[in-house]
Structure 1
Amino acid sequence: MSGVPKILVVDDLAANRLAIRAALRGVEATIVEAGNGFDALAITLEEEFALILLDVQMPEMDGFEVCERLSANPQTADTPVIFITAAHNSPEDRIHGYRTGATDYLAKPINDQLLLAKTRVFLRLYQQNRALQAALEAAKVADRVKDAFLANVSHELRTPLNAVIGLSALALNHSSDPRQREYLEKVSDAGQTLLAIINDLLDLTKIAAGEMSLECTPFSLQKTVARALSVIGHHAIEKGLRLESRIDERLPELLLGDPLRIEQILLNLLNNSLKFTETGWVVVRIAIEDIDDQQAGLLIEVEDSGIGMSESEIARIYQPFVQADPSITRKHGGTGLGLAICKQLAEGMQGSIEVSSRLGEGTRFRVHLRLGVATASECPSGDDPAAAENLPTHYPAARVLVVDDQPLNRDLVFELLGSVGIAPRFAENGQQAVDILREAGAQAFDLILMDIQMPVLDGLAATRRIRALPGFATLPIVAMTAHTMVHEKEVYLAEGMNDHLGKPFSLPAFFALLARWLPVQGDAPAVAAPPAAGAADAGGNELAAISGLDTAAALQRFAGNRARYRHWLREFVGESAGFTATIDTLLAGGASESARQAVHAFKGRVGTLGMRELQALAAALEQALRAGKANSPAGHALRRQLAQSIEAMCAGIQAALAQSPPRQATSRASGPPPGARPAGPMPASVTALLRLLQDADGGSATAIASCLAELPDSDWEPLLQAARAQVQKFDFEAARQLLAGREKVE
């Protein structure tokens, strides 16, 4: 678009066009002429005009018809048109002209000063409109950049937080000391609260627009306050502050509202008070302002004896990313988001927040909310921890299709599903999933767990194709992905998915998802308790000593299965030696997007295995590839550093596994003859494998690898090795018979 606006003059007489051009000689605009209506319409299709000066009385096509056609074309409908006429100047003619789309009228003979004044008004409006459009586009670009930034940062924030949650859960399994367990439970509760809050904080666009979804569920405000105080209590102890709570005796046992958001408000206000209070106290008060059988008017106060604020500082405290005093950031840290979020959340719940403070005399925040009063009968069983522990956890007849291109992810899901009696079928990309479903039919599966980023056909495209198949409109499809932004979840739901499970996921979240989407089929068999703290198997201590390898967090993801974890560490050593060379080859061939996708997948694998340093390097390299800086000095340095770190990690793993004393192997001479099933109960993983073999499922190869990792040096190993050889020849029935004889697995 040119920087100089254009004016189109349409008149069948050249003398009139010349007169108008002369009258507008002081205007900063390009004058374009047309001698008839047809030429004028053709010109407007090729160029943009700030104003059209249109004669009414012209041969073949008069000005009224030209204006009608301009109004009917979306490209020109908003362009202002001034009719210039001598003959058609009656009130009726003017009304007719306005109806056809004219903006103004000028009578001939033309008053040059009036024409000039009107033209300048319309040019000014045009320039203002262009400036607004440019600002709007810039805002949209900034929004897209922000969304992309937040989407990338979300992974970096969630990774350490998931480690906190996972490690605390693992430590709880190994601790019998009551005080330690109390501390660990508080760590776990705080981590879960922070994780839930971060999931929404990352999408600042939603918060700023007031579009954050709020729940309305029964909850105990007393417990919410207690949980918030337990989270920040140690900070008060460290600073020697008294931390108190005073709760109105009239407070109902259960209220209807969003406990997470109310706890978020409390935590932000309490942290703010603790940050700016060096001596004295911080107190939380919950008061009832009014109450009836249906609703309660609440006053939540957080007051401290801290440094206080001046009136000018109070005026700025609710602005996002702004501290009351710039020196605060240097001394106390923080983003300046906390109080802004409190205000938006309170107003989102139809409430309000106010503050009173004086320098040196402390600060008091008051939050007014009106919440519904709930009864015990309104509290769903899912809110009851005891009920949650009794969720159905055994689905022997469930049919689940897992779609993921990463063998490690497939193996993890296979292990978890097998623990509740499910023998899943696998697809390695979206196209395989579509082909399987098209052949099997709409009644063949109860649930699909779908990765998003995959080769050949991604999860979203696969979902669209599945929904287009006859009979597949209601089959539950769950997005299983590390993309966890609110707007990303909305995209998945809009594309036809039913639910979302963020990676890396916790075991409770995974099993809760199964409970939501699979029919109840009975209780699970007893599950063995996690191994004791000192019962690490061979190689555990050596692996834990490797720099950059967080074995505790990784084992939590593997449900404590150390044999399976070691198996995937060996796989990593075998697969990763030439990884950076592969990236270099892709970049040399101009396949930068393929290189980025490979690095993204590598980042996910090493993150699951607990290789935090490698994960951070891969994330940095992925950012460089996305920014087109792969061949910059920084990009080359990242690839060199990644290659060195991979080499060091592989060497450390090999050394640790080599130091592991051999297991007490079962004598092959005394083992069962080939083809004979070992004595004792069949392992659950082998039972699941038999179902896959019976269906000639392509996921059988992955399942056999998982069984071998789980059952090394056992009587099952030679049978599994022989079965793998048959599967490699696509003789699934022969493999099944090796493991189970001729009997079918129902």
Structure 2
Amino acid sequence: MAVLFKDQPLEQAVMQRTQAESWLRQRHAGARVLLADDNEINREVAVELMRAAGLEVEVAEDGQVAVEKVSAGGFDLVLMDVQMPVVDGLSATLMLHGNPRYAQLPILAMTANAFDEDRAACLAAGMNDFVSKPVAPGELYATLGRWLPGSADRAAQVPAPLPAPDPGAAREDLVLARLERLPGFNVHQAVANLLGMKDRYLAVLRMFCEHHSGDAHRIAQLVGSDEPRKARLAAHSLKGAAATLGAHGIAELAAAVESRLAGEPSGVVALELAGLVDELDLRLRAVAEAADVPGTERP
């Protein structure tokens, strides 16, 4: 099935939403999926997409929790982020597939890294396939469709969701227009990747502002406290969440901070890092203001 929404106009993505949901629903509705990802924004978007297609989804915040939840039984498939705290996705996969009870359980890697060596590491750990981040609906649905067990009886028991009224559509369009004017922001594609659900996109964006608006200051404090590893993890998490929401300018800045923190920040690197963090703070505040997040004011 060719339902690839990447780089597709918003109108087409909305028009094909029913088709994509119907395709996955008819074959796999009611299937139980465990999503393991430490990034709340990425979890929210992926869960929204899967539940829209009739899948039952539970979440785990790290690999250890994922192993514990799978051990309780009942999952048809696991979507596993590669980089997570406590136990990472590769280690969690090795634990699960090393147990004969779960040797055949499909585990799909979720990763922003498309390099051959990263994919080789995932395959070596026993992962079955890949879903790129930020998540695109077409790729997610197609990959899930390849690995989920189908059940026509189960699908018939899951009713299709009724369309929700949209009384705030004009207000949503106004906020989206403000966001689109920000540098390095592709709202159009991000909303398309949420199947045109503007209200859900804005809800997740405001969650992003709530959880990540202070990240620049937090990164600076961690660097000042000589904790570059924690600062790098914070930059990595911000990068992934921003990319998911179309905030590519913020994602690129966060990626630059993450890269600078690969070694000990000192001298010129420290000065570059300070400039990046300052720019990051300005962009995060601009997003919060454009999105009408409480506590911020627009001029």
Whether the 8 Å CA contact 2:202–2:291 is kept in 1: the answer is: no
Deviations 1:593-646 (A, max 9, x none): 111111011011111112122122112212211244465221111111111222
Q: Give the 3 Å change call, closer, same or farther, for CA 627–536 of structure 1 in structure 2.
A: farther
AA matched with 1:556: A
Match of 1:635 in 2: 273
Provide the C-alpha distance between the structure 1 equivalents of 2:137 and 2:295, rounded to a whole number of angstroms. 27
* Shift of residue 486, structure 1, vs aligned partner: 2.4
- Give the gaps of 5 or more residues in structure 1: 1-164, 176-385, 660-746
* Shift of residue 658, structure 1, vs aligned partner: 9.8
Whether the 8 Å CA contact 2:64–2:86 is kept in 1: the answer is: yes
Q: Give the 3 Å change call, closer, same or farther, for CA 167–578 of structure 1 in structure 2.
A: same
Q: 2:225 aligns with which of 582, 585, 589?
A: 589
The within-5 A match list for 1:275-314 is: none
Higher Rg of the two aligned structures: 1
Q: Give the 3 Å change call, closer, same or farther, for CA 174–457 of structure 1 in structure 2.
A: closer
Deviations 1:74-130 (A, max 9, x none): xxxxxxxxxxxxxxxxxxxxxxxxxxxxxxxxxxxxxxxxxxxxxxxxxxxxxxxxx
AA matched with 1:474: Q
Match of 2:235 in 1: 599
Q: Give the 3 Å change call, closer, same or farther, for CA 499–166 of structure 1 in structure 2.
A: closer
Whether the 8 Å CA contact 2:24–2:53 is kept in 1: the answer is: no
Provide the C-alpha distance between the structure 1 equivalents of 2:250 and 2:281, rounded to a whole number of angstroms. 10
Percent of matched pairs sharing the same residue: 34
AA matched with 1:598: A
Deviations 1:163-204 (A, max 9, x none): xx63434243589xxxxxxxxxxxxxxxxxxxxxxxxxxxxx
AA matched with 1:416: L
Q: Are positions 1:617 and 2:253 aligned together?
A: yes
Q: Give the 3 Å change call, closer, same or farther, for CA 578–493 of structure 1 in structure 2.
A: same
Deviations 1:304-325 (A, max 9, x none): xxxxxxxxxxxxxxxxxxxxxx
Q: 1:497 aligns with which of 95, 110, 127?
A: 127
AA matched with 2:88: D
Provide the C-alpha distance between the structure 1 equivalents of 2:95 and 2:78, rounded to a whole number of angstroms. 14
Q: 2:284 aligns with which of 623, 629, 646?
A: 646
Whether the 8 Å CA contact 2:31–2:55 is kept in 1: the answer is: yes
Whether the 8 Å CA contact 2:44–2:204 is kept in 1: the answer is: no
Q: Are positions 1:408 and 2:41 aligned together?
A: yes
AA matched with 1:645: R
Whether the 8 Å CA contact 2:14–2:192 is kept in 1: the answer is: no
Q: Give the 3 Å change call, closer, same or farther, for CA 542–508 of structure 1 in structure 2.
A: closer
Q: 1:452 aligns with which of 70, 79, 82?
A: 82
TM-score of the superposition, structure 1-length normalised?
Answer: 0.35
Could you say what secondary structure the match of 1:504 adopts?
A: coil
Match of 1:575 in 2: 211
Deviations 1:461-504 (A, max 9, x none): 11111122341211111101112222321221111111111112
Provide the C-alpha distance between the structure 1 equivalents of 2:222 and 2:214, rounded to a whole number of angstroms. 13
Whether the 8 Å CA contact 1:392–1:520 is kept in 2: the answer is: no
Q: Give the 3 Å change call, closer, same or farther, for CA 655–416 of structure 1 in structure 2.
A: closer
* Shift of residue 437, structure 1, vs aligned partner: 2.4
Could you say what secondary structure the match of 1:539 adopts?
A: helix
Whether the 8 Å CA contact 2:109–2:129 is kept in 1: the answer is: yes
Match of 2:193 in 1: 557
Match of 2:12 in 1: 172
* Shift of residue 457, structure 1, vs aligned partner: 0.7
Provide the C-alpha distance between the structure 2 equivalents of 1:652 and 1:569, rounded to a whole number of angstroms. 11
AA matched with 2:46: V
AA matched with 1:614: I
Match of 1:514 in 2: 144
The within-5 A match list for 1:124-523 is: 166-173=6-13, 391-394=23-26, 395-438=28-71, 440-441=72-73, 444-522=74-152
Provide the C-alpha distance between the structure 2 equivalents of 1:543 and 1:553, rounded to a whole number of angstroms. 12
Q: Give the 3 Å change call, closer, same or farther, for CA 559–543 of structure 1 in structure 2.
A: same
Q: Give the 3 Å change call, closer, same or farther, for CA 402–585 of structure 1 in structure 2.
A: same
Whether the 8 Å CA contact 1:167–1:552 is kept in 2: the answer is: no
Whether the 8 Å CA contact 2:25–2:55 is kept in 1: the answer is: no
Provide the C-alpha distance between the structure 2 equivalents of 1:510 and 1:450, rounded to a whole number of angstroms. 13
Whether the 8 Å CA contact 1:480–1:500 is kept in 2: the answer is: yes
AA matched with 1:473: A
- Give the gaps of 5 or more residues in structure 2: none
Q: Give the 3 Å change call, closer, same or farther, for CA 656–430 of structure 1 in structure 2.
A: closer
Provide the C-alpha distance between the structure 1 equivalents of 2:271 and 2:21, rounded to a whole number of angstroms. 54
TM-score of the superposition, structure 2-length normalised?
Answer: 0.82
Whether the 8 Å CA contact 1:399–1:446 is kept in 2: the answer is: yes
Q: Give the 3 Å change call, closer, same or farther, for CA 468–173 of structure 1 in structure 2.
A: closer
The within-5 A match list for 1:614-693 is: 614-629=250-265, 632-654=270-292
Q: Give the 3 Å change call, closer, same or farther, for CA 656–562 of structure 1 in structure 2.
A: farther
Whether the 8 Å CA contact 2:34–2:60 is kept in 1: the answer is: yes
Q: Give the 3 Å change call, closer, same or farther, for CA 445–412 of structure 1 in structure 2.
A: same
Provide the C-alpha distance between the structure 1 equivalents of 2:146 and 2:287, rounded to a whole number of angstroms. 40
Provide the C-alpha distance between the structure 2 equivalents of 1:414 and 1:655, rounded to a whole number of angstroms. 23
* Shift of residue 555, structure 1, vs aligned partner: 0.8
Provide the C-alpha distance between the structure 1 equivalents of 2:14 and 2:83, rounded to a whole number of angstroms. 36
Whether the 8 Å CA contact 1:393–1:515 is kept in 2: the answer is: no
Whether the 8 Å CA contact 1:478–1:498 is kept in 2: the answer is: yes
Give the total of aligned pairs.
280
Whether the 8 Å CA contact 1:539–1:656 is kept in 2: the answer is: no
Deviations 1:42-99 (A, max 9, x none): xxxxxxxxxxxxxxxxxxxxxxxxxxxxxxxxxxxxxxxxxxxxxxxxxxxxxxxxxx
Provide the C-alpha distance between the structure 2 equivalents of 1:577 and 1:392, rounded to a whole number of angstroms. 36
